[in-house]
Chains A and B, each alone.
Chain A
Amino acid sequence: MQQRTPIEEQIDLPFMESLRISFQSLKIRFGRSVITTAGITLGIAFLVSVWTSNEIGIALQESGRQSTINTFEETTEAGISTKDIWLIVMSLIVCVVGIANSMLMAVTERFREIGTMKCLGALDGFVVRLFLLESGFQGFSGALIGALIGTLGAVLLGLKDYGLDLFFYFPLLPAQPEDGPMQLGVIVVILLGCFLGMVLAVIGSSFPAWRAAKLPPAEAMRTEV
Chain B
Amino acid sequence: MADIVVKTEDVVKEYRMGSNVLRALDGINIEIERGEYISLMGPSGSGKSTLFNMIGALDTPTEGKVYIDGQNMSQLSQRQIAAFRCHRVGYIFQSYNLLHVRSAHGNVTLPMIFAGIPEKRRNEKAEELLDMVGLGDRMYHLPDELSGGQRQRVAIARALANDPSIVLADEPTANLDTVIGREIIDLIKSLNEEQGVTIISATHDLKMLDVSDRIVDIRDGLVERVRNREEIEIEVGEVGGH
A contacts, CB < 8 Å to B: 1-2, 4-11, 13, 17, 21, 24-25, 28-29, 112-113, 115-124, 126, 216-219, 221
Contact = CB atoms under 8 A, between A and B. Distances in A.
Given A118-B85, A119-B91, A218-B59, A10 B69 contact: no
Interface string B43-59: 00000000001001011
B71 A10 contact: no
Contacts of B84: 7
23 contacts: A2-B3, A4-B70, A7-B83, A7-B84, A8-B80, A9-B79, A9-B80, A9-B83, A11-B115, A11-B116, A13-B113, A28-B102, A116-B98, A118-B85, A119-B56, A119-B58, A120-B158, A121-B114, A121-B115, A122-B82, A123-B79, A126-B114, A217-B59
A7 B114 contact: no
B97 A123 contact: no
A7 B3 contact: no
Contacts of B71: 4, 6-7
A122 B80 CA distance: 11
A29 B86 CA distance: 26
A126 to B, nearest CB: 8
Nearest to A124: B78
Given A9-B77, A121-B114, A216-B60, A25 B101 contact: yes
B172 interface: no
A24 B113 CA distance: 14
A155 B137 CA distance: 56
Interface string B87-112: 11001010001110110001000110
B138 interface: no
Q: Which of A1, A7, A216 has the most CB of B within 10 A?
A: A7
B110 A120 contact: yes
Contact of B86 (A10, A24, A217): A10
In the A-B complex, list the 8 residue pairs whose CB atoms are closest, starting with the nearest. Answer: A121-B86, A10-B82, A121-B114, A10-B83, A218-B59, A218-B58, A218-B53, A9-B79
B58 A121 contact: no
B111 A121 contact: yes
Interface of B: 1, 3, 34, 53, 56, 58-60, 69-71, 76-80, 82-88, 91, 93, 97-99, 101-102, 106, 110-111, 113-116, 142, 158, 162
Given A8-B83, A13-B113, A24 B58 contact: no
Given A2-B3, A7-B83, A9-B77, A119 B97 contact: yes
B87 A121 contact: yes
B83 A5 contact: no
Contacts of A221: 58, 93, 97
Contact of B111 (A17, A21, A120): A120
A134 to B, nearest CB: 11
Contacts of A112: 97
A123 B82 CA distance: 6
Contact of A217 (B58, B98, B106, B116): B58
B173 to A, nearest CB: 19
A191 to B, nearest CB: 33
Contacts of A24: 101-102, 106
Contacts of A29: 101
B43 to A, nearest CB: 19
A126 B116 CA distance: 13
Q: Which of B56, B59, B60, B162 has the most CB of A within 10 A?
A: B59
Contacts of B79: 9-10, 123
Contacts of B1: 1
A2 B34 contact: yes
Contacts of A11: 83, 115-116
A117 B111 CA distance: 8
A116 B111 CA distance: 10
Contacts of A21: 113
B83 A216 contact: no
